[in-house]
Chain A
Amino acid sequence: MVAAHHLRIHSIESFGTHDGPGIRLVIFAQGCQFRCLYCANPDTWDPHGGREMHIDEIVQLAISQRPFFGKRGGVTISGGEPTLQRVVLLELFQQLHAAGINTALDSNGRLLNDEVKALLAETDYLLLDVKHINDDWHKQLTGVSNESVLQVAAYREQTGKEMWLRYVLVPGWSDQPEYLHQLGRHFAHYKSIKKLEIQPYHRLGVHKWEVLNMPYQLNDVPPPTQTQLNEVATIFRQYFTEVVIN
């Protein structure tokens, strides 16, 4: 049980430059129900891990950092999967907005209910991770279905608020051209999508799997080459106006 007004967090990165616009205070929330094979932060999975932090303290940090945000920066909640703590996050986002600080939510789209909808209403930038457009592959990669992910995307589109898609490129797993095109076609008409970010699979988290005594299944998978990344970007550029390699 987490105490009222507290967020269970994994860690803080005060100089986030890859999770939304500008310089961002990124709070990594603890807890995730996905089991992505490439997860770089498996130590965020356990919803009872990490430490509790009062949201006033987070707001205080953000205010202290506000001069660095300039015209673009703000606060991003990443994870783990932040929507597991949607109720307290809504409260946090409201307070941040009251302080004139923009909010971003980096979510895997695990859940869509009224509480999540309320949170999304306070979210200026939804960074939605679409792990795979094909449900079988999605299940293989993450252990769960992508149904809710697509629902979250559709709902966000309906609200008209800004969304960025994030796509982790894992060679041999999420680089099949037919599915990349399928993803493009699925989202091409979405007006809320301002950007698609390709996130190259990397192996910086492998040691954490070892520490947690879990077998790492992607040992044979190399990070994508620049050529592979460019090829995928070329495909996505047929559907999205802004495609960046993050």
Chain B
Amino acid sequence: MDAIISTPAPFATGRWQQHIDVRDFIQQNLTPYTGDASFLEGPTKATQQLWQLCLDALKAERDNGGCLSIDTDTISTITSHAPGYINRDLEKIVGLQTNQLLRRAMKPFGGFRVVDGAVKEKGQQVAQHVREVFEYVKDHNSAVFQAYDPEILAFRSKGVLTGLPDNYARGRIIGDYRRLALYGANALIAAKKADKLAIDGELTEHTIRLREEVSMQIKALEDMKAMGAMYGLDLSRPAQNAQEAVQWVYMAYLAAVKEQDGAAMSLGNASAFLDIYIERDLQAGLITEAEAQELVDHFVMKLRMIRHLRPGAYDDIFGGDPTWVTEAIGGQLADGRTKVTKTAFRFLQTLYNLGASPEPNLTVLWSNQLPEGFKAFCAQVSIDTSSIQYENDDMMRECRGTDDYGIACCVSHQEIGKRIQFFGARTNLVKTLLLALNEGREEKEGTTLLKGIAPLEGEYLDYEAVMANFKKSMDEVARVYTKAMNIIHYMHDKYYYEKAQLALIDTDPGIDIAYGAAGISIIADSLSAVKHAKVKAIRNEAGLTEGFEVTGDYPMFGNDDDRVDQIACEITDYFFAALRSHKTYKNATHTMSLLTITSNVMYGKMTGATPDGRLAGEPFAPGANPMHGRDVNGAIASLNSVAKFDYNSAMDGISNTMSLVPKSLGHNKAAQVENLTDLLDGYFAKKGFHLNVNVLDRDMLMDAYEHPEKYPQLTIRVSGYAVNFSRLSKNHQLEVITRTFHENM
């Protein structure tokens, strides 16, 4: 039967027509889908040809040491580069960051020195005229260091505070990229102009600055139009069909990643929005399912090709060259309907049509109310590709009060278009514990970082005394951490303002300030050992701890045992309360994450022996995971321990990574899908927050370790994001292989 082609139906009306309100548009026009995956289509010929070109480019990139080429001549802006194509005739969705696929651009306002260093590492030189610019203008990095004090510098150089965005862009802010499609740039400019006029009355530092910022946003919207025009697109007006909607959203996102190179540049929550346009065109017979899938495939292909220029040192912290183009999929609406659409399925289908991939970082917002067909498809995709992560939609909707949110980076909630986030990396909390055991001295060189920490008396460590010192140390670290964060975000706003993203966000949005802590499971086990066994500190001549002797058994985190799990929760609550006692820049709301990214190996290297028996240099567990091999009662007991953390103390996210061999999930695919679905339902009903699911054979990983060229697309999930296994350092790869695999037979 031939499809009947008709004019698309008009959108359902609503508040969204008078105000910038994408959420309302979605509420009024969404078509929830409760069926299964059987409607999905494979890749078109054009998709296959385009993807092959990408694979060739990716191979060339790998062969060239992980970076294909750099434009050393141009400071990247929204309009800096001529249009780029993969193959112009085949692309349904166009646009590249530079004029060439995988060519990296310089975004030096975060820190010119870092960009300069990264270019030099690749044996090239930044063009003289670019260098000259920074003889006259200041960047974020130099500004921050002008305001730092010796205390912050010491905490930073001794690895107590790590990964701070003080020499690179902070990222994490999610523009509401859907706005460009729904309203067009002209309407958005008009709204921003009205906002600016409304900033009046007695002017304060805040309102003066806001006026300047809104003016910059308007400029960014004008630039977006100019960028669109280079590709022959009229972004001044709203998108009129599915293809345009996808294209417009991508253009808005592209503007952001041309201007900024933040560690994480999430896409947000686009699938339900795009589905409205796709569904409308399908209903009108304007496109087929294969064409709908092709649009999503081409969009996702583009997202996979996003690149930023990074120095080698950056890779130690964030292994695998991630970009965190995180897209949140699924979840429920506040009114009880599901937000799952056919386009949610189509995004997941890209993992089959294009193969597994770490980016975009596909994140399923899991609710126990999700349609069964969608749950089963997610489980199946996890088993087949290990490329998706899950976060607790029921809990986030309840605690954060919105059903229109994305995930910034790995695990951080962000209401779309209404709130932003100040990223703060994390403190190595294990180092803080060691400060408490060493009179405030750093355990390696003995540098005094904290004053007033009493020496510990007696042969064995005493729980009460250790706790008292530790709490005092946490108070001090919270104080210094806050100073650093306030300086960083003040300067970032001033010197590297995200005008493209903030142009797509409400004027004067709410702000979360996101602190982080690494090593919670080591702390829990260390304190449990001190409390339930006998722990003797072995000290060197300088009196610094260099090892610990543990006599007797003690309960270990990861076995659903309250005797230790409650210690982990108590410390988390305490440290968060300590952070909250300090005033934040722009009165941002405190949040905290229990997260390590892939830095758990690096943290381990930098940290001395700990009272749980861990030797100096041994890796941390990723995120909030129990330590390797200590969760001896199997996966569920391990999940139950992590589920005990109070989300209210760690609203920036609690990361948990689970690696399973396929067999341990069940004896055949159907049983595996059912069991993984039950497992996810169970974990989130227990108020677990986040779960990475890897379903992999250890043998396969070993083979990939030895023959990376055989597995160019092998993807694994690590602490809140997915990485391409072959792009991890050998060290990281080994750590992943030895990490707890749940292998019950």
Q: Which residues of A contact B (CB under 8 A)?
A: 11-18, 22-23, 25, 61, 64-65, 67-70, 72-73, 202, 204, 244-246
CB distance from A61 to the nearest CB of B (A): 6
- Please judge, given known A-B contacts A15-B744, A202-B745, whether A68 and B633 are in contact too, CB under 8 Å: no
A14, A22, A244: the one within 8 Å of B634 (CB) = A14
Chain B 639-661 interface 0/1 with A at a Cβ cutoff of 8 Å (1 = within): 11000000000000000000000
**A to B CB contacts below 8 Å, 5 in the list:** A12-B633, A13-B634, A18-B745, A22-B675, A204-B745
Please tell me if B129 contacts chain A, counting CB pairs below 8 Å. no
B634, B640, B678: the one within 8 Å of A70 (CB) = B678
Chain B 620-635 interface 0/1 with A at a Cβ cutoff of 8 Å (1 = within): 0000000000001111
Interface footprint category on B: 20 to 34
Bound CA span A189–B290, Å: 51
CB–CB B671/A17 < 8 A: yes
Secondary structure type dominating chain B contacts:
helix
Across-interface contacts of A23 in B (CB, < 8 A): 636, 675, 678-679, 682
Please tell me if B665 contacts chain A, counting CB pairs below 8 Å. yes
Closest chain B residue to A40, Cβ basis: B745
Across-interface contacts of A14 in B (CB, < 8 A): 560, 633-638, 640
Please tell me if B569 contacts chain A, counting CB pairs below 8 Å. no
Please tell me if B128 contacts chain A, counting CB pairs below 8 Å. no
CB distance from B675 to the nearest CB of A (A): 5
- Please judge, given known A-B contacts A17-B664, A73-B678, A244-B668, whether A68 and B744 are in contact too, CB under 8 Å: no
Across-interface contacts of B634 in A (CB, < 8 A): 12-16
Bound CA span A89–B637, Å: 22
| Given A12-B632, A18-B666, A67-B682; 17 other pairs, CB 8 A cutoff | A11-B632, A12-B634, A13-B744, A14-B633, A14-B638, A14-B640, A15-B637, A15-B744, A17-B664, A17-B665, A17-B666, A17-B675, A18-B745, A67-B681, A68-B678, A70-B681, A245-B667
Tell me which of A13, A17, A25 has the highest count of chain B C-beta atoms within 10 A of its own C-beta: A17
A18, A64, A68: the one within 8 Å of B667 (CB) = A18
Closest chain A residue to B668, Cβ basis: A244
Across-interface contacts of A72 in B (CB, < 8 A): 674, 678
A11, A25, A244: the one within 8 Å of B636 (CB) = A25
Bound CA span A65–B679, Å: 10
Across-interface contacts of B744 in A (CB, < 8 A): 13, 15-18
Across-interface contacts of A25 in B (CB, < 8 A): 636
Bound CA span A11–B681, Å: 26
Across-interface contacts of B632 in A (CB, < 8 A): 11-12
- Please judge, given known A-B contacts A12-B633, A15-B636, A17-B665, whether A64 and B675 are in contact too, CB under 8 Å: no
CB distance from A203 to the nearest CB of B (A): 12
Bound CA span A79–B674, Å: 25
- Please judge, given known A-B contacts A23-B678, A70-B682, A204-B745, whether A61 and B637 are in contact too, CB under 8 Å: yes
Across-interface contacts of B635 in A (CB, < 8 A): 14-15
Please tell me if B226 contacts chain A, counting CB pairs below 8 Å. no
| 9 closest cross-chain pairs (CB), A and B | A68-B682, A14-B636, A15-B635, A70-B678, A14-B634, A67-B685, A14-B637, A15-B634, A67-B682
Bound CA span A18–B668, Å: 10
CB distance from A195 to the nearest CB of B (A): 11
CB distance from A66 to the nearest CB of B (A): 8
Bound CA span A83–B370, Å: 41
CB–CB B667/A65 < 8 A: no
Across-interface contacts of A22 in B (CB, < 8 A): 674-675, 678
Please tell me if B742 contacts chain A, counting CB pairs below 8 Å. yes
B640, B666, B745: the one within 8 Å of A65 (CB) = B640
CB distance from B482 to the nearest CB of A (A): 37
Bound CA span A11–B634, Å: 10
Across-interface contacts of A73 in B (CB, < 8 A): 678
CB–CB B675/A61 < 8 A: no
Bound CA span A47–B674, Å: 36
Please tell me if B683 contacts chain A, counting CB pairs below 8 Å. yes
CB distance from B667 to the nearest CB of A (A): 5
Closest chain B residue to A60, Cβ basis: B560
Across-interface contacts of B637 in A (CB, < 8 A): 12, 14-15, 61, 65
Across-interface contacts of A11 in B (CB, < 8 A): 632-633
Across-interface contacts of B664 in A (CB, < 8 A): 15, 17
Please tell me if B686 contacts chain A, counting CB pairs below 8 Å. yes
Give the residues from 673 to 691 in chain B that come closer than 8 angstroms, CB to CB, to chain A. Answer: 674-675, 677-679, 681-683, 685-686
Bound CA span A3–B386, Å: 46
Across-interface contacts of B675 in A (CB, < 8 A): 17, 22-23
Bound CA span A67–B683, Å: 8
Closest chain B residue to A13, Cβ basis: B634
Bound CA span A14–B682, Å: 13
Across-interface contacts of A16 in B (CB, < 8 A): 634, 744
Across-interface contacts of B678 in A (CB, < 8 A): 22-23, 68-70, 72-73
CB distance from B692 to the nearest CB of A (A): 16
Across-interface contacts of B685 in A (CB, < 8 A): 67
Closest chain B residue to A204, Cβ basis: B745
CB–CB B636/A68 < 8 A: yes
Bound CA span A15–B674, Å: 13
CB distance from B740 to the nearest CB of A (A): 12
Bound CA span A70–B677, Å: 9
Bound CA span A25–B637, Å: 9
Across-interface contacts of B674 in A (CB, < 8 A): 22, 72
Closest chain A residue to B678, Cβ basis: A70
Closest chain A residue to B680, Cβ basis: A68
Bound CA span A244–B667, Å: 8
Across-interface contacts of A12 in B (CB, < 8 A): 632-634, 637
Across-interface contacts of A244 in B (CB, < 8 A): 667-668
- Please judge, given known A-B contacts A204-B745, A244-B667, whether A13 and B633 are in contact too, CB under 8 Å: yes
CB distance from A47 to the nearest CB of B (A): 22
CB distance from B432 to the nearest CB of A (A): 30
CB distance from B201 to the nearest CB of A (A): 53
Bound CA span A230–B154, Å: 66
Bound CA span A40–B199, Å: 75
Across-interface contacts of A65 in B (CB, < 8 A): 560, 636-637, 640, 682
Across-interface contacts of A15 in B (CB, < 8 A): 634-637, 664, 679, 742, 744
Tell me which of B632, B636, B683 has the highest count of chain A C-beta atoms within 10 A of its own C-beta: B636
Bound CA span A238–B744, Å: 31
Tell me which of B638, B639, B671 has the highest count of chain A C-beta atoms within 10 A of its own C-beta: B671
B665, B679, B745: the one within 8 Å of A68 (CB) = B679
CB distance from A160 to the nearest CB of B (A): 26
